[in-house]
Chains A and B, each alone.
Chain A
Amino acid sequence: MTTATTPVRTPERASAPAVTARKHRPGLRRRLELALLLGPALLLFFGFVLVPIGIAAFYSVFNWNGFGPLDDFVGFKNYSDAFGGTVFQSAIVHNLIIAGLSIVVQLPLSIGLALLLNRKLRGRAVLRALVFAPYVLSEAITAVIWSLMLQPNGFADQTLRAAGLGGLVHNWLADPGIVLYTMFAVITWKYIGFGIILLLAGLQGVPAELREAAALDGASAWQTTRHVVLPLLGPTIRIWIFLSVIGSLQLFDVVWIMTTGGPANASTTMATYLIDHGFKRYEFGFGSAVAVILFVICFVFALLYQRFALRRDTQGALTRMVG
């Protein structure tokens, strides 16, 4: 999914020098050092993350078209309007469907392909490069390419017909009942490579001795995978789920370019709804409210997930580090 830049394991790194530094007297030199090292990052974080969030929250309680003074205070009306609107409700559902499908479909697919590509087989490097290639494309280019291929009688339809699967041809982008799944297929095509690379990296951390031991104990290939490899892949899978869900919640580019959320809002996501209202309708106050909602949903998910799912991984890492 969209790359959320959350290096989950940074705390361990950051805490190490802090512990040693405490022994020194805090001098000018150290303060300067801190300011020099932390300053730029903090400034950027403050200016481009915290301040905009604050401003968006401020705008969100006004009815404001983007021009003129902010003088129409409406309290939480924008929020209740958003949650009360059927289009936004369905947008949330669409995001959740994409997130759910990612876990149910993309994850097993990624694991399967990663296991396959982890074996010694001819042309492995080429195959690895191939599955990873779509991830390198920008979302905009992906969306444009797929829009062209999915046109009626386009490349996708012709391929299906040539393979004798003409019955599977649909109005991929025009049928409100299908369009969301078309979006999901495109996203899967684009991001599957990322999942595979992540899992391949995880697989390198599975010691060969363990597999060997399992094999000596008479475990079948499936048993080894199920009881040795998968548990050890746990941390990687949990990180992948985290990135994938956050990306699903923020889904925008592909949908906006391919359908602008249509037809009949059948592929609207929270982010396309935000842009549609904020910038196409000049409802900046309302758009800000939607942005805040989207932020809170992602933030709460991130906190809960870190607390309950990732804690084990990060704590384990810390213990290893200290011990």
Chain B
Amino acid sequence: MFVKRRITVLAALAAVAPLALSACSGGNEPPAQPSGPVTLTWWHNGTTDPIKTVWEKVVADYQKAHPEVTIKAQPLQNEDFGTKVPLALQSAEPPDIYQSWGAGDLAGQITSGKVADITGDTKDWIEQATGKFGEKWQVDGKQYGVPFTQHFVGFWYRKDLFQSAGITTPPKTMDELNAAVTQLKAKGIAPISVGGKDRWPDAFYFNYFAIRECSTAVLQQSVKAVKLEDPCWTKAGQDLKNFLATEPFQTGFAGTPAQQGAGSSAGLVANGKAAMELQGDWEPGTMSSLTEDKDLDSKIGWFPFPTVAGGQGDPAAALGGGDGYACTTRAYKACTAFLQYLVSEPVQTELSAKGTGLPVNAVAAKALKTDVLRQVYDYGTKAPYLQMYFDRAFPTAVGAALNDAVANMFAGQGTPEGIVTAVNQAAAGNK
């Protein structure tokens, strides 16, 4: 009995000791970096090919070149990051590298004190490797992450369906888009598919109307202040309401998922059941897995979101975002060195060539697989202003409130003013 109890006490001490030690090391100073061999845990969302294989190769190559570094990659479902990252950042041992989409989410994560400020370790190369885009992973001027691919949103359309409806050139203005919708409907073709169940595809429409209606200065100021005051925001909501009134979407769009199955919005376009969809550059990859059509690439074209008459926004401004990684403090130097490798020419070229996204490093753009992807890349990188999706740009709760308000309007409820109010209310901390 006696012996046993002592063992229990020892076990308890052993269990508590690391906690106590880690508590001591938690301060404002970045912790001393581990010397000698280091193992990095890497949480990424590359659970399926092609990116899965690319990351496996990246890990193997990097370990070969840096024998002192071991990388333990842990692919997680994309949807799991929302729940796993906050919990991990509360724990004593968060992953050393984790997927981050920058901006608002990242700003929230930083308050955990576990995310490393890597400004000093990235300043020599990040601008050269990622251009201005890397700034989206800054919070208050400090670098907290590094993007490895960028995304731009626009209309993906089926050339064959456009042709059969007699549409010769892709719409450039909202009037032309409305006309195209009418022509397609007359042919009995669902003009546009949207994944309303997932809500974020709905938000793309409001986002783009806002980018067209609001000047760049207003957009920047509103995102920074997390407050929508300029009347252009309400106008964007009104534009959306008017557009919805033309009933451009497929039957039952409010219940359609964006990417799962042939009945999803991407699947409908892939199988010729709808003529276009407003989506990111990942769309061709999503579509190819949802159809038997091996010749899909040749049937698909792309055009930017149309211009809106009278809007204050730059007609060439683009909506987008990107994928990146953030480092936690334990081994941030080793992490940053790895991130530098991810944005280097060989890895970026590999990512582009395998069709996993648009590279952040301009030297890799020529490796993009199709002309249409090069078109999207050129449009996005030449855009005078890139607005990050508002649900990422705003703090998480505000972004979700915006998506919900827009989705409600898609479901036939709510007003343009209601969207603005929902955002401002969420920003003020009201539920």
Contacts and interface: CB of A to CB of B under 8 A. Distances in A.
Interface stretch (A37-45, A173-181, A204-212): A173-181
Interface stretch (B45-53, B289-297, B406-414): B406-414
Contacts of B108: 65-67, 282
Interface stretch (A11-19, A148-156, A227-235, A236-244): A148-156
Interface stretch (A95-103, A261-269, A315-323): A261-269
B257 A147 contact: yes
A173 B197 contact: yes
A174 B82 contact: no
Interface in A243-267: 259-260, 262-266
A171 B407 contact: no
Interface in A182-233: none
Nearest to B104: A282
B255 interface: yes
Nearest to A78: B431
Interface in B214-270: 250-257, 261, 263
Contacts of A175: 252, 254
B112 interface: yes
A120 interface: no
B430 interface: yes
A139 interface: no
Nearest to B255: A173
Contacts of B310: none
B300 to A, nearest CB: 23
A264 B197 contact: no
Given A82-B431, A264-B413, A266-B411, A174 B263 contact: no
Contact of A67 (B112, B197, B253, B400): B112
A134 B205 CA distance: 40
Contact of B198 (A147, A260, A265, A281): A260
A264 B411 contact: yes
Interface stretch (B57-65, B83-91, B329-337): B83-91
Given A173-B197, A262-B411, A264-B413, A66 B90 contact: yes
Nearest to A150: B255
Interface string B105-125: 000111111000000000000
Nearest to A179: B255
Main secondary structure of the interface of B (DSSP, over half): helix
B429 interface: yes
A148 B262 CA distance: 9
A40 to B, nearest CB: 15
A2 to B, nearest CB: 21
Interface string A280-301: 1111101000000000000000
Given A67-B109, A260-B198, A281-B400, A174 B255 contact: yes
Given A171-B251, A171-B252, A172-B255, A66 B407 contact: no
B372 interface: no
Contacts of B261: 147-148, 151
B199 interface: yes
B411 A176 contact: yes
A176 B412 CA distance: 9
Interface string B190-211: 0000001111000000000000
A67 B114 CA distance: 9
A81 B255 contact: no
A85 interface: yes
Nearest to B400: A281
B263 A151 contact: yes
A82 B430 CA distance: 10
Contact of A151 (B252, B400, B410, B413): B252
A164 interface: no
A187 B111 CA distance: 41
B396 interface: yes
Interface in A132-152: 147-148, 150-152
A284 B256 CA distance: 29
B105 to A, nearest CB: 8
B301 to A, nearest CB: 26
A189 B225 CA distance: 49
Contacts of A277: 431
Contacts of A283: 397, 431
- A81, A259, A260, A263 interface centre (most CB from chain B within 10 Å): A263
Interface string B408-426: 1011111000000000000
B82 A67 contact: no
B86 A67 contact: yes
Contacts of A176: 254, 411-413
B202 to A, nearest CB: 10
Given A66-B90, A281-B400, A152 B251 contact: yes
A280 B90 contact: no
Contacts of B430: 81
Contact of B250 (A147, A152, A281): A152
A176 B409 CA distance: 12
A263 B256 CA distance: 10
Contacts of A148: 261, 263
A160 to B, nearest CB: 14
Interface of A: 63, 65-68, 78, 81-82, 85, 147-148, 150-154, 171-176, 179, 259-260, 262-266, 276-277, 279-284, 286
14 contacts: A66-B87, A67-B110, A68-B111, A151-B252, A151-B263, A152-B263, A174-B196, A174-B411, A175-B254, A259-B255, A260-B198, A263-B407, A266-B411, A286-B431
Given A171-B254, A260-B197, 6 more contacts: A67-B89, A81-B431, A148-B261, A262-B254, A264-B407, A280-B82
- Sorted from nearest, which 3 A-B pairs have the closest CB atoms? A173-B255, A174-B255, A264-B411
